[in-house]
Chain A
Amino acid sequence: MNAPSLSERLVRIGLIALALLSVAVFLVLPLITVFAQAFAEGGKLYVQAIRSDAVLTALKLTLIVAAMAVPLNVVFGIAASWAITRFDFYGKQILITLIDIPLAVSPVVAGLMYIEVFGLHGWFGPWLAAHNIHIIFAMPGIVLATVFVTFPFVARELIPFMQAQGSDEEEAAVVLGAHPLSIFWRITLPNIKWALLYGSILAASRSIGEFGAVSVLSGHIRGRTTTLPLEVEMAYNEYNFTAAFAAASLLTFAAIITLTVKKILESASGIHPRAGQEKDAA
């Protein structure tokens, strides 16, 4: 390749500068704003806001919800990708499309769907009320909403990964008489661990930050059904900006950790961040 001419170099520098400037204004400034606002009234008030009961209980609930939702979708992701990548069956393409549905549904609509199923006027509402089981405006509802919005995350990472890997090793193990569970623990799981971890981190990050779906199903009872993102909203609407941005700073911190871990996993395992439909399992 020839050495770049002066005009080519100018175009290159110009485009890099423009990209950096737009990333700075569009993405970095909001990030800095969160911390600047959180510390606007000094570090002491920030610490006070973080250690308030409202924030601590919200943080606890957020972590509990994520700890319930992520494992459920991990199990689903493994089962779905095993069925889809290891077998050729009728209706496979339809199944793959259906798994992607939650990505296309507005979080608010997702929340509303569960109200129509479990709410007082919903399908199972009267029965649940008669048996004194609370799902809507209680923790199970928040967990369900979180499971829904993170539903495809693990499966979508595993399917292309397992497809590319093929099933030769597992078939060899079957021929040699290995037990199905030992095939899973000794061959499949070690092979997919990076993709599994990657998908789980995406799911955990979204679980911690989900707002719309949880907002519809939570009932906003402070100290009982407010997750951290809901606490951000409530404090903000009460014009308690330090508290809102202090809670937001915890979430931003979690987001920065997610991006860092993601980047490390990408360089360690060769996984690439993608959006859109995969070229998989066709």
Chain B
Amino acid sequence: MPRRTSRLRLSLLRKPSPLPGFGVSLGFTVTYLTAIVLLPLAAILARGFSGGWATFVHSIARPRVWSACTLTLESALLAAMLSAAFGFLVAWVLARYRFPGRSIVDALIDLPFALPTAVAGIALTTLYTQNGWIGRYLEPLNIHVAFTRWGIVLAMSFVGSPFVVRTVQPVLEDLDQSMEEAATSLGASPWQVFTRVLMPVCLPALLTGTALAFARAAGEYGSVIFIAGNMPRKTEIAALLVVTRLEEYDYTGAAAIAIAMLVLSLSIMLIINLTQNRIQRQEGKRG
């Protein structure tokens, strides 16, 4: 059955295809993407720079904004490292060992994805206040978690932890154990096997997972605001300051902080994308 080939097909397709629906599916995809993502993204950029570059810089370079941003970055970095440690340990145990309850643990890993952030926030706060199940043992040791920076780090690492497990676990599962056995039989110590054989293979996945956890932590709102205490210049995170500015009807100020956050998270995403593409291409070359 000969079909008329539309102009869109001819100009966009690299390779002809016998399948139908190219124009409809791509057209809908691009329209929907534009309406839901690109247009709102453009609107926030337009608002942030509506007063020009000087106003934008002025909205960002205020002490309160500055301390919220540095607090967010520092906490997200610490949280990502905690997520990385927790995630690598759990990924290793899940990928390498069989033990009773393994599949329950495997399902539980995704809990921070499935549990609404507000629920995580109030549950963590309750656990770590001075009367809480964990807080009551930490307070005598003079460790304060709830309503301090540590609370922020805790909530952020909670929401970021599945990213690390789910990027590292598949790599460990696919890894050929004969490499480790070969290294051992050639006289390598367990530590040498870990640092010389395992780490080089796992490192890209571990870094990707940690970067994703960091991006998630830097933008996190729901789970953090309950446990943070939210004191301006002390425990106020960037996402909360966006909301505060909005409640003050300072739309330009809110948009400026939001743009700073967007630049950070989108560049992390882009870097991850580019490195993954490069790794894929190298693997492709090797065949």
Question: Closest Cβ of chain B: how far from A116's Cβ, in Å?
Answer: 4
Task: Note all chain B residues with C-beta closer than 8 A to A16.
Answer: 93, 97, 99
Residues from chain A with a CB closer than 8 A to the CB of B75 are none
Mark interface residues in B78-101 (1 if CB within 8 Å of A CB, else 0). 000000001001101110010101
Q: Evaluate whether A114 and B40 lie within 8 angstroms (CB atoms) in the complex, with A27-B108, A216-B243, A259-B110 already known.
A: yes
> Which one, B99, B107, B272, contacts A260 given CB within 8 A?
B107
| A151 with B37, Cβ < 8 A, contacts A180-B21, A211-B118, A212-B117 known | yes
Contact check: which of A106, A205, A252 meets B261 at CB < 8 Å? A106
Among candidates B17, B118, B161, residue contacting A86 with C-beta atoms closer than 8 Å: B17
Q: DSSP class of B's interface residues: helix, strand, loop or mixed? A: helix
CB-based contact A25/B269 at 8 Å: no
Contact, CB under 8 Å: A259 / B18: no
A-binding segment of B57-65, B145-153, B220-228: B220-228
CA–CA, A103 and B273, complex, Å: 13
Contact A276 B221 (CB under 8 A): no
Q: Which one of A27, A112, A144, A202 lies within 8 Å of B254 (CB-CB)?
A: A112
In the assembled complex, the CB of A5 is this many whole angstroms from the nearest CB of chain B, namely 10
> Any chain B CB within 8 A of the CB of A163?
no
Q: Are A209 and B20 in contact (CB under 8 A)?
A: no
In the bound complex, CA of A211 to CA of B170 (Å): 30
Could you list some 30 contacts between A and B, CB below 8 A? A15-B89, A19-B94, A20-B105, A26-B86, A26-B158, A26-B161, A29-B133, A31-B123, A33-B126, A34-B119, A76-B28, A82-B25, A87-B22, A87-B26, A97-B273, A103-B269, A104-B215, A104-B266, A104-B268, A106-B219, A106-B220, A106-B265, A123-B46, A232-B122, A248-B123, A259-B110, A263-B106, A274-B170, A275-B165, A279-B276
Q: Are A108 and B167 in contact (CB under 8 A)?
A: no
Q: Is residue B54 within 8 Å, beta carbon to beta carbon, of the partner chain? A: no
Query: Which residues of chain A (107-156) have a CB below 8 Å from chain B?
Result: 107-110, 112-117, 119, 121-123, 144, 147-148, 151
- Give A residues with C-beta under 8 Å from B: 1, 11-12, 15-16, 18-20, 22-23, 25-31, 33-34, 37, 75-76, 78-80, 82-83, 86-91, 93, 95, 97-110, 112-117, 119, 121-123, 144, 147-148, 151, 167, 170-171, 174-175, 177, 180, 183-184, 202, 205-206, 208-212, 215-216, 228-230, 232-233, 236, 244-245, 248, 251-252, 255-256, 258-260, 262-263, 272-277, 279, 282
A260: chain B residues within 8 A (beta carbon)? 107
Contact B114 A205 (CB under 8 A): yes
Determine if B181 is an interface residue (Cβ-Cβ < 8 Å).
yes
